[in-house]
Each structure stands twice: as C-alpha cells, then as structure tokens.
Amino acid sequence: MKENASSGSSPRRIRLTNAVAALRHLHSAGRMSRADLARKLGLNRSSSGQIVAELTESGLVREVEEFGTREDLPRSAGRPGILLELVPDAAYFIGIEIGVEHISAVVIDLKGKTRVHRRLPFDAPSAALEDTVARAIDLAFHGLDPVMRDRCRGVGVSAPMHIRPDGQVKLAPLIGWRDVALLEAIAHALPLRVPVMIENDANAFAIGDSYKHGASGVTLFLLMETGVGGGILIDGKLFRGGHGLSGEVGHMLVPGSGGISLEQLIGREPLVTRYRSDSGRPLAGLNDFLDAVRDREPAAVTIAEEWS
C-alpha cells in the first residue's frame, strides 16, 4: 500500500519494526507464550520482553492464563501458564472499497475481525471524484460507534486503479479516473487525522489474504468483478513489477482467441451482457444471472458452462 515512510533514528525504527513483527505474530497465532514470541522475533528474552512491555503498556497486548482457574483442576496441574494476545478493542481500522457500481466500508478490530460492514449501490463512473470520496467517507463514518471512531488508527482505500509510486492514481479506466489525487482527497475529507493508504483492489485483496492465511511461494489472486484484476504474492510479499502492473492479467491477450483479452472472456460485464442478449432481459444484472443458473435456466447454464 502507498504511504510515506516514517522518519526517525535507526534504533527507533528497529524497535518499531520489532513491535510490528510482534503484533503480526500474535495476530497470526492468536495467543503465544513470551518464549515462543521471542523465538519468532529472533531476539533474546530481554529484548523481546522490552517490546512486550511497551505493547502491554500501550494497551495493544495483554496477558491471559493458558488454562482457566477452575477448582476441579488437580493441584498437580500447577499454576496456569501465561500467554500473550492482542486486545481487539484497542484499535480499529477502516477499509473502503470504491467499485464501479458500489462502495463498501468495513471496520475491523486489532485482531482483524470485521465489526461493521456496509455497502452502498453507487455509479462511480458518472460521479465526480469529490462526490465519490464524500459518499465513501459518509458510508464509513456516519453513525459509527464513538469508541471505534476515537480508536481508529488508519484508513485504507482500494479501487480498480493503477497507482504511481508517489501515490497518485495514474489511471482507473473502469471508473474514468486519470491522474487524480485520491490519497489527498481522502485525507482532506476525513473527519479525523489518521494515516491513509490507497491500493489497487486486487493487490489489497492479496495483501489481506496473506495476513489471514500466510503465504509462501508464488501465489496469484484473481479478483473478478466488472473487470478482472490480479495480485501476485511472492513469499508473502506483494510483487508489483517494474511499472506496478504485474498483477494486471485482465489485459493480457488470450492465445488463440483472435485478440480477445482475459477480461473480455471472463469479466463480469461480458458475462452479464451475453446473458441479457441470450435471455431477452436487457435490464438483467449479475444476481439475475446467478439466480437463473441456480434455477437451471438453459441460457444461463450454457453461458456458465462455457465461462467455467
């Protein structure tokens, strides 16, 4: 995701890097002992203990007993072990997806659990950037629990877009954006001052999945909506390529297709367009098509089988 690197002394950066690594390990494992966390971090018990102390004092991490203090446990069982875990309500993060036909917003806690999910039908190509941003911010923050708002520590925004290294949106053809300052527009419209990140939607999906499931080797994530996008992870790290377009497989020409791109073959728009034509339903949408497939409507089934 695009953000400015923070400045600071080398020791401070090292502590910050280790603290972030500790949070990631606890997020992945759920609960860990101090010894296991130190091994994961590659630090001695003293250095790891300092990181844990800072995270505990900040309220991000807490100690929990490995076993309950039930009276029916035999005395020989000894004292319960002490584990570390994230405090889910210590911080919240807001995610916004700007699609071609919708805007979605989620609030997740420090453990990555979705606490709020909202979705709004929205025709992004026909709206100005300022209107799109205003609707997205309103969807995310209107009526939000004050505690979640006060503890919000960052906002991430994704869209089907190509982002330059400086964070500017170079092109979002499905929405109609070209050379727009999305990052600046979002930061200006936010009702609070927190870090803001923007990312291509398929890349954001790949990054999010790697946090949840981990990743090793080379993995391609396909996001199929109005168009087709892709995100590539190599050993858990996003691969952008020389021009930031490494995952844009939707524009690749399919061999033997007569010059048709992958997006034209399996994207949602050609799929729905064909169903509208074959079924004689000019206003049918994707849900109508999926319902027709479930109902075994011949035209829809034929299209689905050829697509698959």
Joined together, the tokens standing for residue 163 give 């982002």
The C-alpha angle 227, 137, 133, rounded to 5 degrees, equals 55
% pLDDT > 90, the chain: 56
Residue 272 CA, distance from chain mean position: 26
Query: Which of 79-83, 143-147, 221-225 has the highest average model confidence (pLDDT)?
Result: 143-147
pTM confidence score? 0.79
Give the C-alpha separation, 12 to 131, whole Å. 40
**Measured between alpha carbons, how far apart are the two ends of the chain, in Å?**
32
What's residue 269's pLDDT? 80
- Using pLDDT thresholds of 50, 70 and 90, give the confidence band for residue 255: confident
pLDDT digit string, tens, across residues 155-208: 999 999 998 877 789 999 889 999 999 999 999 999 999 999 999 999 999 988
> Is residue 247 pLDDT above 90, yes or no?
no
What's residue 116's pLDDT? 96
What's residue 52's pLDDT? 94
What's residue 174's pLDDT? 86
Number of Cβ within 10 Å of residue 54's Cβ equals 15
pLDDT digit string, tens, across residues 20-48: 999 999 998 889 999 999 999 999 988 99
Average pLDDT of the chain? 87
> Is residue 84 pLDDT above 90, yes or no?
yes
